Amino acid sequence: MSITEITPQALAAKPKRADARRNYDKVIAAAREAFAEGGAATSLEEIARRAGVGIGTLYRNFPNRQTLLEAVYLEEVEALCASVADFDDLDPWDALAGWLRRFVDYMAAKQALAPALLDYVDRDAPVFQCCRKAMYTAGEPLLARAQAAGAARTDVDLPQVIHLIGGITKMPTTDRGQLDHVLDIALDGLRYRD
């Protein structure tokens, strides 16, 4: 699935020519890495340098910091949504649990980007609305399949599960083992029990 179908065109305008698309992708990858390392305030010149492109190329694709932040954020959500296909061959519970573990990784990237985006837009801005819709569209079938198989509780919906997982990712710890342990506890609570 691609969120470009449900994202306003202004937020998802990607170059069509192969060379322009390669430069766009290099800037996105460099920005993702730079924002993860140095925060969203990393200079655009540093991002262009990391991408191996001129600052003019960066500005041609992203006229300001907000558009670059939005593009990186959208790419992260798009990757999360597309990852649903990685779990097609698993049983319903393992598919849901696997995607929720992938969601934890997405949340780590989001925590570097969302506060900076909130400097430009509010929580109900189109970029956030489209991303929420895309995540629900991608994840709801996984939860429904696990519930139909009797593997997941039927008294929860995906927004509640996402709030639960999102809360776990906000724990003040740098120990991934601790985070995974708490996630295991939450997933155990999500399992259906007679």
pLDDT digits (tens, 9 = 90+) for 36-57: 888 778 899 999 999 999 999 9
Q: Tell me: pLDDT of 154 over 60.
A: yes
Minimal CA–CA distance to 7: which of 129, 110, 106? Answer: 129
Comparing 76 with 123, the larger pLDDT belongs to 76
pTM value is 0.82
Structure letter (DSSP) for residue 6: T
**Rounded CA gap, 168 and 187, in Å?**
11
Mean pLDDT of the chain: 86
Minimal CA–CA distance to 100: which of 111, 116, 115, 87? Answer: 87
Q: Which long-range contacts (CB under 8 A, 24 or more apart) does 105-109 make?
A: 106/76, 106/77, 106/79, 106/80, 107/165, 107/166, 107/169, 108/169, 109/32, 109/36, 109/76
Return the pLDDT at 40.
Answer: 77
Q: For the chain, what are the domain ranges?
A: 3-190
Q: Which two tokens stand for residue 165?
A: 């997982």
Structure letter (DSSP) for residue 121: S
Q: Tell me: pLDDT of 112 over 80.
A: no
Q: How would CATH label the architecture of 3-190?
A: Orthogonal Bundle (1.10)
